Amino acid sequence: MEHRALGKSGVVVSRLCLGAMMFGAQGNPDHDECRRIMGAAFDAGVNFVDTADVYSYGESEEIVGKAIKGRRDQVVVATKAHHPMSDDVLNQRGSSRSWLVRACEESLRRLGTDYIDLYQVHRPDPLTDIDETLGALSDLVRAGKVRMIGCCTFPPSEIVEAQHCADQRGHVRFRCNQPPYSIFVRGIEREVLGVCQRYGMGVICWSPLNSGWLTGRYRHGAEFAVSPRSLIPMNRPRDETESGFGRPRLPYPVLDMSLSQNQRKLDLVDRLLSLSDASGLSMVDIAIAFTLTHPALTSAIIGPRTLQQLTDQLPSVSVRLSDDVLDEIDRIVPPGTDVFQGDGGYLPPELIDPRKRRS
C-alpha cells in the first residue's frame, strides 16, 4: 500500500481510503462481516477510514468504532456532519455552531474515541455563515476533540471564501476537501483540484467507481440487480415545505435507463470495456487508478459492501496507467466533463429550486 501526506497537514494516509458508507442497514447490516472487511483493509496497509453520522444514521460510525478498538493510534479516522439526523427536529442538521458541537459529541460517542482525526462538513450550508461554521470547528480543534477539519463537495468559490475567512478571523483552516471524482465525473478538474493545490489542501475523492457504473456491471444488454449504494445517494434533491425543508425525493435516477444521460453512460461504458480488453486491465483497476493519477489527489475512497469487493479493489493502488490509456480516457470523456450533472454531488440551490431563480 502506498501512502501520501494529506496536503500540508503533515498527516500521512494510505492512497486508498476505506469508505464506510455501506456498513450498516444502508448496505451490509452484518457488523461482524463489516469488521472483517475493515480488518482485511488494515492488514493490506490501509490506515485511513471515512464515515459520516448520516450513514445508516450512526450505525456505520458504531461499526467503525468497534473495528478500530485496540488500534486507534494506527488509524486516521474521518467523519462528517451536515445531513439531517432527524425527520422531525429541524435543527439536527446543517453547519451551525448549535448542531456541529452536538453532532461531534454524538460521533465521538458512537466511534468510541475521544478525538476525530478529520472532521468534515458534508456539504455547503446556504443557511449558515461560513464564519459561524469555522468558528465552531476551530473551537472543537482547540478543545482537542478534533485534530483537523475539512469540507466535502465544496465548489471552488466556497473553498476560497472559507480559506479567506479563516485567515481574516483567526480560525482553523480546512485541510482537506472530499469531492466526487471519476472518469464520468471530471468537473473538479476545471477549478476545484487547482484551488486545493493552491491552498495546500489534501483531496480524497468519493465514488471513483461512479456508483458501480465503472465496474462494467451496467452495460447494454446486461441484466443487473440494483445495489443499495445506487438507491441511497447523499445529495438527493429535497421536496421542500414552505420552510425550505423536507424529506428526500425518491427514486433517485442513478439507474433510470430511460434518461438520456444514462443512455450516454451505457455507450461510454462500451468504449471503456473495449479499452479494458485492449489494455489487459479490469474496469475497476482503470477507474480507480485514473483518479490516483492526478497529482492533486491524495486518496481515493473505496466503499466495499463485501470482502470480495474489497479484494477486487485493493490491487488498483499499484496500477499505473500508460499515456496511451489516459489519452483514450480523455477522448471518451473529455477533461472537466461531468457526464451526468446529478453525479456531481452538489448543485447550488438555484439550480434545484426554481423559486430561488425568480424574484
Roughly what angle, to the nearest 10 degrees, separates helices 97-111 and 130-142?
Answer: 40
Residue 357: what pLDDT? 86
Residue 233: what pLDDT? 44
Residue 241: what pLDDT? 38
Q: Alpha-carbon distance 310 to 41, whole Å?
A: 8
- Residue-wise pLDDT for 302-313, tens only, equals 999 999 999 999
| pLDDT higher than threshold 80 for residue 347 | no
Weakest mean pLDDT among 54-68, 211-225, 229-243: 229-243
- Residue-wise pLDDT for 247-284, tens only, equals 344 345 667 777 888 889 999 999 999 999 999 999 99
- Residue-wise pLDDT for 151-182, tens only, equals 999 999 999 999 999 999 999 999 999 999 99
**Counting beta carbons within 10 angstroms of the beta carbon of residue 223, is it exposed (0 to 12), middle (13 to 18) or buried (19 or more)?**
exposed
At 90, the pLDDT band (50, 70, 90 cuts) reads confident
Weakest mean pLDDT among 9-13, 112-116, 224-228, 262-266: 224-228
Residue 231: what pLDDT? 47
What the chain holds in terms of domains, given with CATH numbers, is 3-357 (3.20.20.100)
Looking up cell 497529482, which residue turns up? 295
SS3 labels along the chain: CCEEECCCCCCEEECEEEECCCECCCCECCHHHHHHHHHHHHHCCCCEEECCCCHHHHHHHHHHHHHHCCCHHHCEEEEEECCCCCCCCCCCCCCCHHHHHHHHHHHHHHHCCCCEEEEEECCCCCCCCHHHHHHHHHHHHHCCCEEEEEEECCCHHHHHHHHHHHHHHCCCCEEEEECECCCCECHHHCCHHHHHHHCCCEEEEECCCCCCHHHCCCCCCCCCCCCHHHHCCCCCCECCCCCCCCCECCCCHHHCCCCHHHHHHHHHHHHHHHHHHHHCCCHHHHHHHHHHHCCCCCEEEECCCCHHHHHHHHHHHHCCCCHHHHHHHHHHCCCCCECCHHHHCCCCHHHHCHHHHCC
- Residue-wise pLDDT for 33-69, tens only, equals 999 999 999 999 999 999 999 999 999 999 999 999 9
The pTM of the full predicted model, rounded to 2 decimals, is: 0.89
Residues with catalytic function: 55
| pLDDT higher than threshold 50 for residue 336 | yes
Residue 259: what pLDDT? 81
| pLDDT higher than threshold 70 for residue 193 | yes
At 225, the pLDDT band (50, 70, 90 cuts) reads low
| pLDDT higher than threshold 50 for residue 81 | yes
